[in-house]
Chain A
Amino acid sequence: MDLTNDRTSINFALRLRRLLIRASGSIFVWSWVIFSFAILGWIIVAAFKRNDTVFADLWALPDSAEVGNFGDAWGLLNLTRTSINSLLTVGGGTLLTMALAAPAAYALSRVGFRGASGLTGFFALGIGIPVHSIIIPLFLGLSEAGLSNSLLGLTITYVGVSIPFAVFLMTGFFRSLPTELEEAATMEGAGPVRIFFSVMLPLARPGMVATSIIVAVGLWNEFLLALTLTFDEDKRTIGVGLLNTFGAMRYTSNWVGLFAAVVIMLAPLIVLYTWMSRRIIEGLTVGATK
């Protein structure tokens, strides 16, 4: 008789516990989200503050928006010059990376041949090699080839260091694609080259977009290679520009200008990210899960 009653009370306790867990989980998740937002927000707000208040009252909102900080930062970043260089090297490097990595990844993942797995591993090995540990021999080699202090040399270097990760991600993509179309095309007598360009490439487009964005974002933020491999005023990239700005602001105590420079550099990333984040993330995950 009391059985039902008992069960509901158990159910109730269970449900309450579950509710509590879910609530505390939500709190955890949302405080993490808010925290991440706050850090980003703090940088952006600081970019509008004044030097004498930015560190004195960390929490305070600025009493006036110092838009002039952005003018300072713009000039110091030498943005007209550095952004062109960055577009050339990052854009060119990303395109070339994709042009080389996509066919390689396709062949490694879909054209079964002996040694494919080993070769894939060999490419993946490159992800684990830190750039600055190879920078000196790399520089010597480039200067031997007449490619030091040149944007082309930097671009090719960007391609070389991006290929491992791009191949790694793209092999994942190609593996995840259905095989039927490919088989049908083979029946029709199409060779691998044609199958790649007319069947696989269109199918792999989302993956290519995601991979190229991941590669481009990484290169956009890069400064070590650019700093070491080029040394002309007019060959600086935006990453090196940020480093120089960091220096200038630090030694002249113009911290708000530094934050403004960071915001300027972040702006295209934020736009790109809000627009494409789903694709970036999905691209990343297909590469990792397949």
Chain B
Amino acid sequence: MNEIVTTRLKPVSANLSRHKGVRRHAAIFIAPALAVYLLIVIAPSIGTLWISFTKWKGIGDEAKFVGIDNYKQLWNNDTFRGSFGRTLTLLIAGGFVVFLFAFIFTMLIREMRSKKLIRAIVFFPNVVPPVALAIAWGVLLAPRNGLLNEFLELVGLTSQTRTWLGPDLLFRSIIAGLVWIYTGFFVTILMAGVDRIPAYYYEAAELEGASARQKFTRVTLPLTWDVLSVAAVLWVILAIKTFEFIYAFGGSGTDPSASSWTLPVHVYVVALGNRSPILALGQGSAIAVVMVALVGALIFLTRRVMRRAVVEF
């Protein structure tokens, strides 16, 4: 995402970079952050990579090097395939809905007077502890006396009531909860892109009799393309990393059933899980590595797909 921007803005201060000792200063500026980042994030990541090649139960156990066995076993592991599949479902189906809603929202509130207020409210779930949201979401979707089913009955839609947290719908309900939380986040980001589009573009389009859809495809979409590509990358990261809400929601405080695991939940339960510890650190680490690889690959792919001449305006 940053390449796009850098190529556009090119050398911001070319004269500055010719300044003597600039590299040295850059090093001084960057080194502390880099050092902490390397120590706290990168070094342990390499540690995780190493653990993924071992069988290890943690303290009091000698780690045994097993090469790529853990990865080979994942290949045949139904539970892992389930977690992987659910992660992709969340990423793709959830992503589709989040972006659809975020666009609709952005278009709708663009001209509304209370748009700042609305934006602030829809963004708010993003600052609430996910555990609290998970509890509330569980109460909302409970089969009997749940707020949603009660509401449906109230307005005469009794036939539409469902066992929302039953095995068939549970994961979809989780996705719905995440859509609710993250739509606000992406509304915020997309709106920032839309706000930068000069109003006269829309006025001109309107004068030429463009429909709402035409305005969207001819004006909004091309002019927010770079913002959209950043948003897409952020979604990839968020969707694959999301943990607390799914964990707290699926199990009401204990490890959730394997039928609602995603990759991060799987890593947690297998490597750290609290009640009946499995302590398969090698396997957990292998899943974590797969996960990070997935993030990296998808970011690369997203950027490839989204790469396109940026419209200057």
Q: Which residues of A come within 8 Å of B, CB atoms?
A: 18, 21, 25-26, 28-29, 32-33, 35-37, 39-40, 42-43, 55-56, 58-59, 100-101, 103-104, 106-113, 116-117, 119-121, 123-130, 132-138, 140-141, 156-157, 159-161, 163-164, 167, 171-172, 175, 179, 182-183, 186, 191-193, 196, 217, 221, 228, 239, 242-243, 246-247, 250, 258-259, 262, 265-266, 269, 273, 277-278, 281-282, 284-286, 288-290
In the bound complex, do residue A160 and residue B26 qualify as a contact, i.e. CB atoms below 8 Å apart?
A: no
Q: How many residues of B contact A (CB 8 A)?
A: 108
Measured CB to CB, the residues of B under 8 A from A are 1-3, 5-6, 9, 11-17, 19, 21-23, 25-26, 28-30, 32-34, 36-37, 39-48, 50-51, 58, 104-105, 107-109, 112, 116, 118-125, 127-133, 135-137, 139-140, 145-147, 150, 180, 183-184, 188-189, 191-193, 196, 212, 226-227, 230-231, 234, 236-237, 240-241, 243, 252-253, 264, 267-268, 271-272, 281, 284-285, 288-289, 291-292, 295-296, 299
Q: How far is the CB of B95 from chain A (nearest CB, A)?
A: 15
Report whether A117 and B19 are in contact in the complex, using a CB–CB cutoff of 8 Å: no
Residues in A with CB closer than 8 Å to B196 are: 289
A138 & B296 in contact (Cβ 8 Å cutoff): no
Instruction: Say yes or no: A112-B3 contact (C-beta < 8 A), given A137-B44, A182-B16, A247-B253.
Output: no
Not counting A111-B13, A183-B16, A285-B189, a sample of 20 additional A-B residue pairs whose C-beta atoms are within 8 angstroms of each other reads: A28-B104, A35-B180, A56-B145, A110-B12, A112-B12, A121-B2, A123-B33, A130-B264, A132-B271, A133-B264, A133-B292, A136-B272, A137-B50, A140-B47, A163-B41, A186-B19, A191-B25, A281-B120, A285-B188, A289-B189
Q: Contact: B11 with A112, CB < 8 Å?
A: yes
* A183, B41: Cα distance in complex, Å: 36
From A33, A40, A42, A123, contact of B37 by CB (8 A): A123
The one of B16, B30, B132 that contacts A43, using a Cβ cutoff of 8 Å: B132
Residue from the list A103, A134, A266, A278 in contact with B44, Cβ < 8 A: A134
- The distance in angstroms between the C-alpha atoms of A104 and B34, with both chains bound, is 8
Q: Does A192 contact B25, Cβ atoms closer than 8 Å?
A: yes
